[in-house]
């Protein structure tokens, strides 16, 4: 749709993401780093906030983002595994317009983003044997400006998928799951 082509895809490309596949309102995208995936989520959410301010209430959209770092399995462009499920659960817990990240992602962000992180503590997630420590990424305060993408420094890829934005970063992969709330 128009929003995907004019707002989502340009953000993904700006941060070095590569669209791997689509299914319904999901996009699977690869990123070169966890930091770039989070920066993409921040830029995307900021751009949606600006877009919404110029729209009548019935045309505004809200997206929730969850981001996790862990192992995943890829089969024919689809990503599977417990760590994908954790990202999806984080997305489900996020407030509309919000971004939640796991402790693993938060550790990789130290000193690399300006947005403060709020520790929400350990959360028990459906079908997960261990609680996951969750952090909320504070919204962008400054005016919308394209953030600088980080050059990939590590080996492997980060895959991400958008269901309207849940990002899972794992073993070199990131899953982005955007959920749209109209």
108, exposed or middle or buried, with CB in 10 Å at 0-12, 13-18, 19+? middle
**pLDDT at position 133, please?**
97
Condensed to tens digits (0 to 9), the pLDDT of residues 67-94 reads: 888 777 788 767 777 887 888 889 889 9
pTM of the model: 0.77
With bands split at pLDDT 50, 70 and 90, how would you rate the model's confidence at 130?
A: very high
Angle at 20 between CA 85 and CA 6, to 5 degrees: 100
């Amino acid at each position: 749709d128009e929003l995907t082509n004019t707002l989502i895809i340009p953000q993904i490309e700006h941060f070095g993401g590569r669209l791997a596949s689509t299914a319904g309102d999901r996009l699977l995208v690869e990123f070169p780093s966890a930091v770039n995936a989070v920066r993409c989520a921040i830029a995307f959410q900021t751009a949606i906030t600006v877009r919404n301010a110029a729209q009548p209430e019935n045309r505004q959209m809200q997206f929730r983002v969850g981001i996790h770092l862990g192992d995943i399995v890829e089969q024919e462009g689809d990503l599977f595994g417990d760590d994908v499920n954790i990202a999806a659960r984080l997305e489900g817990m996020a407030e509309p317009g919000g971004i939640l990240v796991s402790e693993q992602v938060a550790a990789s962000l130290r000193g690399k983003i300006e947005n403060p992180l709020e520790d929400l503590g350990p959360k028990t997630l459906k079908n997960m044997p261990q609680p996951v420590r969750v952090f909320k990424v504070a919204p962008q305060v400054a005016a919308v400006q394209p953030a600088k993408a980080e050059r990939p420094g590590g080996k492997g890829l980060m895959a991400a998928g958008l269901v309207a934005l849940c990002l899972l970063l794992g073993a070199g992969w990131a899953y982005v799951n955007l959920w749209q709330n109209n």
